[in-house]
A and B are shown apart, each in its own frame.
Chain A
Amino acid sequence: MRQPLREENDAVWGGRNPTFKSNEQKVWLERTVEKGWTAPEWPVKYGGGGLSKSEGKILREEMKALSARPPLMSFGVWMLGPALLKYGTEAQKQTHLPPITRGEIRWAQGYSEPNSGSDLASLMTRCELHGDHYLINGQKIWTSYGHKADWIFVLVRTDFEAAKHDGISLVLVDMAQPGVTTRPIKLLSGMSHFCETFFDDARCKVDNVVGDLNRGWTVAKYLLTHEREMIGGSAIGRAAMRPLSEIVTQQVGLNELGVLSDLVLRTDVVRTEIDSLAFLWTTERVADEAKAGQGVGAMSAMLKYSGTELNKRRYELMMYSAGHDALTLGHEANLARDWLRTKGNSIEGGTSEIQLNIIAKRILGLPSA
């Protein structure tokens, strides 16, 4: 467990039907769960570690120093949890947070729809009261690991007369019911992380609305901030793992002067490494500023934009560096698939262009058209 994640099934996602590649993975999860370290900064009563932000940072640094793998990958921990802690009722927290920290329930995110991508607030999935429960009808798309998830947090329309931002609610839906079906979407990389998720009279209890009814957009935006941080941060997390120059030097080699043989590639690699380091320090600075109460909320948009664009650059250069080897599927197949996968980084969780809109409006205060 003291080696970085190398491939898809190195990661543990938990859920009702968890899969472990090795017994070590299982033990590592169980031991961290005992300490509450799958969600170190959540309150102990909800299964967290009860650590302060500074203690959480120390734990992350120590884990990093040990090259310890994350014990659990979880949209519940990264996205839903923070939103429930801020907007959920006490009952919702008690019901949903502990199973998240124990890796027992795997969550999916139901946000985008076929006709509501960047314009998310135009979403049309209907949620209507039917006796003592809601009935949900509609379609979601780009549901990450939807086919493997147990529950889903879904943005739905609950007021059809109100202005588009004012009739939205966030509801929690158990996917183990006949009204919910999923279909994986094959991506450029040949892999299928994303699904279409269909709701046909799917049922949801009335106490599974997070925050006030029709005020779900506020919750949704808060949750998106965490998603942006997750994507921006994970992109650079990978980049920080092994310096690009080390990979490139190994493949391309040095000339008699001790510099990279491909001088044009060298220039691109240097610039990307410099940008990566400065970006990595920016993630640290933004975290430090947030801790000191000097943070700008919309900075996650900047991190998401720069982190994902940088990750695409890194993979383009790795493709140049690997040359013909990278073009054969099977041989070096992981690199080609990873490279193809990065193309989604600047689209999922809000496109780069949407992040630039957010920076322009919320940070720079530029006027709307």
Chain B
Amino acid sequence: MAMVLSDEQKILRDTARTFLQTSAPIDQLRRLRDEASADGFDRKTWESVVEMGWTGVLVPEDHGGVGMGHVAAGVIAEEMGRTLMASPYLSTAVMGATAVVGYGSASQCNKWLPPLAAGSLNVAVAVDEGRSHSPASISTTAQPTERGFRISGSKFFVADGHVADLILVSARSAGGPNDTNGISLFLVPSAASGIEIQRQTMVDSRNSATVRLEGVEVDAETLLGEAGAGYSALEHVLDAGRACLAAEMSGSAQQCLAQTVDYITTRQQFGQPIGSFQALQHRAAHLFAEIEIGRSAVIRALQALDAASDDRSLIVSVAKSKVGWVAQLAAQEAIQMHGGIGMTDELNIGFFLKRVRVAEALYGDTNFHADKFARLRNY
């Protein structure tokens, strides 16, 4: 498949870029942070996002979405990465939709997809329990009861947890601590009795929460897919999220480079623009090369998701690992090349450094995915 955007995807990209730069510039994130916004995202902008159909990007048309696929979802994420728009897009429109569309029963699809596409249902994915990402290390338990299951455990680093209406929870219904067998997925309403959600203040000023489940009683209808066989579905949902995070980070990296090139072209020292010095030119050019290599991995990963490729996991791990590394390089180089102003909160580059740090860690950092890649290649 040609690694270029279709005409339809190009229009989406241009629309998204214009909209985000006018309606959700990086100052919006600054304002949300400074005002300590209770929601952590701008509801009015989110309404416009819903109107444009982005929440339905992965939802089929017969369930109220536009069904444009993962490349399109990534195009939106990449543009969001340029302006750092805070929103439940990734957890709801990408991961939530992938979970329900891919593994939901007919009644689950009918129940959850229309409101998800219509923007009236926010989803959060509760997977991690330890200090770093490890999706098979699950000690949250799901015990069978008469009407369904009783779920107990704690989930950390749950993106958009405190604004979610529905939480995708991974829990162990069988097997030992690190077994991939015995994992079940549940779609649990956040209002269910026994759930305690505590928002965390994050370095990137975005939403994240700790979700504690204490004997939460759910009926059998909340089970997504088969009991004990949820790991491959979980990996699929995570891969969809990882690829879009890579796309988002790629957008952020491109924006860091663009702003840096602008700055060193205008900033004068020694009577000339500092961008005329080879020391800075070579750093910027090296960064450009790395960003281009990262972009290829992103589009390849999104295409692999759309094509349901056998190599999906390997390709997504290349993208998440490579772009995680590249985006951090971009943010760090951008700060260095901005010099004194680069150290300040006033310059928006710092927001990129902080967001990239979090996005890099979310659903497996650079090292996690490098290790996963090696294991998939049997070393």
Contact = CB atoms under 8 A, between A and B. Distances in A.
Interface in B364-379: 370-371, 373-375, 377-379
B314 to A, nearest CB: 9
A361 B282 CA distance: 10
Contact of A270 (B282, B297, B374): B374
A369 B276 contact: yes
Interface string B275-303: 11110111011101110111111011000
Contact of B374 (A259, A277, A281, A356): A259
Interface stretch (A96-104, A130-138, A156-164, A241-249): A241-249
B288 A363 contact: yes
A360 B293 contact: no
A285 B299 contact: yes
Interface string B248-292: 000000000000010011000000110111101110111011101
Given A288-B3, A366-B281, A282 B375 contact: no
B4 interface: yes
Contact of A366 (B275, B299, B370, B374): B275
Interface stretch (A33-41, A42-50, A83-91, A289-297): A289-297
A118 B294 CA distance: 29
A279 interface: yes
A356 B282 contact: yes
B281 A278 contact: no
A369 B277 CA distance: 6
A357 interface: yes
A248 B374 CA distance: 12
Contact of B296 (A270, A281, A360): A281
A324 interface: no
B318 A277 contact: yes
Kindly name the residue among A254, A270, A369 whose own CB sees the greatest number of chain B CB atoms within 10 A: A270
Task: Name the prevailing secondary structure of the B interface residues.
Answer: helix
A245 B377 contact: yes
B273 A367 contact: yes
A279 to B, nearest CB: 6
Given A245-B374, A353-B282, A357-B278, A266 B379 contact: yes
Given A260-B374, A267-B370, A353-B282, A359 B4 contact: no
Interface in A25-84: none
A291 B284 CA distance: 27
Interface string A253-271: 0100011100000110111
Contact of B288 (A279, A289, A302): A302
Contacts, number: 127
Contact of A289 (B4, B276, B289, B319): B4
Interface residues of A, number: 46
B4 A366 contact: no
Given A274-B318, A367-B275, A369-B272, A243 B377 contact: yes
Contacts of B264: 366
Contacts of B3: 281, 284-285, 288-289
Given A258-B378, A366-B284, A292 B2 contact: yes
B276 to A, nearest CB: 4
Interface of A: 243, 245, 248-249, 254, 258-260, 266-267, 269-271, 273-275, 277-279, 281-282, 284-285, 288-289, 291-292, 294, 299, 302, 305-306, 353, 355-357, 359-361, 363-369
24 contacts: A245-B377, A245-B379, A248-B379, A258-B378, A259-B374, A270-B370, A273-B373, A275-B293, A281-B297, A282-B295, A285-B299, A288-B2, A289-B3, A305-B289, A306-B293, A357-B282, A364-B261, A364-B281, A364-B285, A365-B265, A366-B261, A366-B281, A367-B275, A367-B276
Interface of B: 2-4, 261, 264-265, 272-273, 275-278, 280-282, 284-286, 288-290, 292-297, 299-300, 318-319, 321-322, 370-371, 373-375, 377-379
